[in-house]
Amino acid sequence: MDGTRVATPSRAGTDTSAATSATAHLGVGSQVWHFARHYLEMCAAMCIGGVLLNTLVFVVGPAQLGYPDLRQHYPGLALVLAAVLFTLPMAAWMRIRGMAWGPTVEMSGATVGLAIVVVALSGVGVVSASGLHAWLNASCGPWCVVMIVAMLFRLPLYTGRTGHQMGDRRHTTHAT
Ligand SMILES: [Cu+2]
């Protein structure tokens, strides 16, 4: 991890020192705000972008191109696909806001992973067919909820304590 600092001494050096001095004074209110703002941004990207993509794939596509509504014929496959379609705009937004690939892939794994777990549970009968459709009808809700869980595992990052909160990496990269 510290290898990058050795590779680019001048940029990483100022980045680290600036981050340390800035985050040392982050109060609780500021940390809560960092967390809430990051969450609301991701949730908005996920719900707006995801509903658009899901409508294209599950409603506009079948109507215009004539392929069957996957939600009716293959609800399990449809749920995983829906989770992917909700995750893509969220992940894109995280990258746009300067988040590293690590937390981006991790959160994407949490949302898509949850869908896979639900489909697996329906495969062994724990989740009923109507339950599966309820998950499909819940739109971006379940994926927004599981994002909070993923964020709780990386509190220092999402509260801004590590100095790598959204926007910072991008900013320092362009500073040189
Ligand atoms: Cu995210």
Full-model pTM: 0.78
Query: Range of 36's domain?
Result: 28-160
**CA 140/CA 94 separation, integer angstroms:** 17
First to last CA, the chain: 21
> So what's the pLDDT on residue 18?
46
The secondary structure of the chain as a DSSP string is -THHHHHSHHHHHHHHHHHHHHHTT--HHHHHHHHHHHHHHHHHHHHHHHHHHHHIIIIIHHHHH----HHHH-HHHHHHHHHHHHHHHHHHHHHHTT--HHHHHHHHHHHHHHHHHHHHHHHTTSS-HHHHHHHHHTTTHHHHHHHHHHHHTTHHHHTTTTS--TTHHHHHHHH-
* Any domain includes 119: yes
> So what's the pLDDT on residue 97?
93
* Any domain includes 22: no
* Any domain includes 143: yes
* Any domain includes 14: no
Q: How remote is the CA of residue 166 from the centroid of ligand 1, in Å?
A: 11
Ligand 1 is an ion; its neighbours by CB within 5 Å are: 42, 90, 94, 107
Nearest to 46 by CA among 54, 35, 56, 37: 54
Quickly tell me which residue has 């794994």 as its tokens: 109
**Structural domain tally of the chain?**
1
pLDDT digits (tens, 9 = 90+) for 11-61: 444 444 444 445 557 889 999 999 999 999 999 999 999 999 999 999 999
Q: Could you give the count of Cα atoms lying within 13 Å of 29 in the half-sphere of its Cβ?
A: 0
* Any domain includes 13: no
Q: How remote is the CA of residue 23 from the centroid of ligand 1, in Å?
A: 22
* Any domain includes 83: yes
Q: How remote is the CA of residue 65 from the centroid of ligand 1, in Å?
A: 32
Mean pLDDT of the chain: 84
Nearest to 58 by CA among 43, 44, 79: 79
Q: How remote is the CA of residue 67 from the centroid of ligand 1, in Å?
A: 31
> So what's the pLDDT on residue 81?
98
* Any domain includes 18: no
Q: How remote is the CA of residue 163 from the centroid of ligand 1, in Å?
A: 17
* Any domain includes 173: no
> So what's the pLDDT on residue 13?
43
